[in-house]
């Protein structure tokens, strides 16, 4: 039986990845505070190397491989951010990486993954099972699987995002009331929830997902893992996992107080706001927590709220669409 990640394991992960992964800034903005009536802390993972938080989990996982495992190489499946994280970590550690990616992944993510020297295997998101493809490659080529979320080492690496946010709040004597986290398979959500609740036991954690892909929100309501009826159809390409992970759900089903579903239209508005007001370039999945705040889905009045801005790998077409929206 897999042991559940702990706050101590997340602190160990933070030490392990130090020097290989940035400590990203936590930003504040007076206009955003005035608009929402709260004190808002923005954890800017869009400024991380590779453009997203995924480098954290990948680095934590790969740094623990044995010499024999490193020589065998790794395989992963991803829409793009995990792909780049694994590719970059593998490049730094001189490990061969093969990544299974959807044909409709944003070009910026495909290009970024290739730039780190990884080999890409394309699949059809609507027809193919990416995990089956990845595990077949692992078996045929004896590669080590680096899962996108359902893995203790990945969860602990992603949890360093929450650890850094909690440390910032402590330093500024501003206990967190609420934390909003983008959710796909739930790895970032699980790791962040462990780190936040260890420091602020009374904090409330919320998942944020695209409309039509709100499997965490529905799972929380049904107290059981729910599955989305569709696999494509949102601009939030990073947040389209069909169901919460088995391991991540064991954590999130206990730690998360609620979930939100946000429209693509509100996400585009959030991308525009982030660029024009915050000076940040966000991808749709990275802007979704900000969207839930700006559209009033989450009431921040009188509360200290942490938002995880998980990534900034947006293609030019989507970014320009947001700015002209």
> Considering the domain 7-53+152-323 in this protein, what is its CATH number?
3.40.50.1100
Q: What is the pTM of this model?
A: 0.96
Residue ranges, comma separated, of all CATH 3.40.50.1100 domains in the chain are: 7-53+152-323, 55-145
Opening angle at CA 82, ends 117 and 244, nearest 5: 155
CA 291 – CA 263 distance, rounded (Å):
9
Pairing of strands 39-44, 144-145: unpaired
pLDDT of 325 above 90: no
Q: What is the mean pLDDT of residues 215-227?
A: 96
CA 125 – CA 80 distance, rounded (Å):
13
Q: Average pLDDT, whole number, for the chain?
A: 96
CA 273 – CA 267 distance, rounded (Å):
10
pLDDT of 1 above 70: no
What's the pLDDT tens digit per position in 162-190? Answer: 999 999 999 999 999 999 999 999 999 99
Closest CA to 176 of 35, 293, 291, 307: 307
Closest CA to 76 of 98, 44, 56, 52: 98
> Considering the domain 55-145 in this protein, what is its CATH number?
3.40.50.1100
Phi, psi of 253 (to 5 degrees): -65, -20
Helix (H, G, I), strand (E, B) or coil at 312: coil
Q: Where are the beta strands (DSSP E) in the chain?
A: 26-27, 39-44, 74-77, 97-102, 119-123, 144-145, 178-182, 204-210, 258-262, 304-309
pLDDT of 139 above 90: yes
CA 308 – CA 164 distance, rounded (Å):
11
DSSP tally for the chain: helices H, then strands E: 14, 10
User: Can you give the pLDDT at residue 270?
Assistant: 98
Q: Are 294 and 269 in contact (CB under 8 A)?
A: yes
CA 187 – CA 248 distance, rounded (Å):
6
Confidence of residue 79 (pLDDT cuts 50, 70, 90): confident
pLDDT of 108 above 90: no
CA 136 – CA 185 distance, rounded (Å):
21
């Amino acid at each position: 039986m897999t042991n559940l990640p702990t706050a101590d394991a997340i602190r160990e992960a933070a030490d392990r990845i130090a020097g290989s992964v940035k400590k990203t800034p936590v930003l504040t903005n007076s206009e955003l505070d005035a608009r929402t009536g709260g004190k808002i802390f923005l954890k800017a993972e869009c400024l991380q190397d590779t453009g997203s938080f995924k480098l954290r989990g990948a680095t934590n996982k790969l740094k623990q491989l044995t010499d024999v495992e490193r020589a065998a190489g790794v395989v992963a499946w991803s829409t793009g951010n995990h792909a780049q994280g694994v590719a970059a970590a593998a490049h730094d550690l001189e490990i061969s990486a093969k990544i299974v990616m959807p044909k409709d992944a944003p070009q910026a993510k495909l290009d970024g993954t290739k730039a780190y020297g990884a080999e890409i295997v394309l699949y059809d998101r609507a027809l193919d099972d990416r995990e089956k493809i990845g595990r077949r490659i692992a078996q045929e080529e004896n590669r080590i699987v680096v899962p996108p979320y359902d893995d203790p080492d990945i969860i602990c690496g992603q949890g360093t995002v929450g650890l850094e946010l909690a440390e910032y709040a402590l330093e500024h004597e501003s206990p967190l009331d609420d934390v909003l986290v983008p959710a796909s398979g739930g790895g970032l959500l699980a790791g962040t929830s462990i780190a936040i609740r260890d420091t602020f036991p009374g904090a409330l954690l919320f998942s944020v997902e695209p409309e039509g892909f709100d499997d965490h929100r529905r799972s929380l309501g049904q107290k059981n893992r729910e599955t989305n009826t569709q696999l494509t159809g949102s601009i939030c390409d990073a947040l389209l996992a069909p169901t919460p992970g088995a391991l991540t759900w064991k954590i999130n089903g206990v730690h998360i107080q609620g979930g939100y579903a946000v429209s693509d239209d509100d996400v585009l508005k959030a991308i525009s706001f982030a660029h024009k007001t915050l000076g940040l370039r966000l991808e749709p999945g990275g802007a979704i927590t900000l969207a839930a705040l700006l559209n009033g889905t989450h009431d921040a009045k009188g509360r200290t709220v942490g938002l995880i801005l998980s990534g900034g790998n947006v293609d030019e077409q989507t970014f320009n669409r947001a700015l002209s929206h």
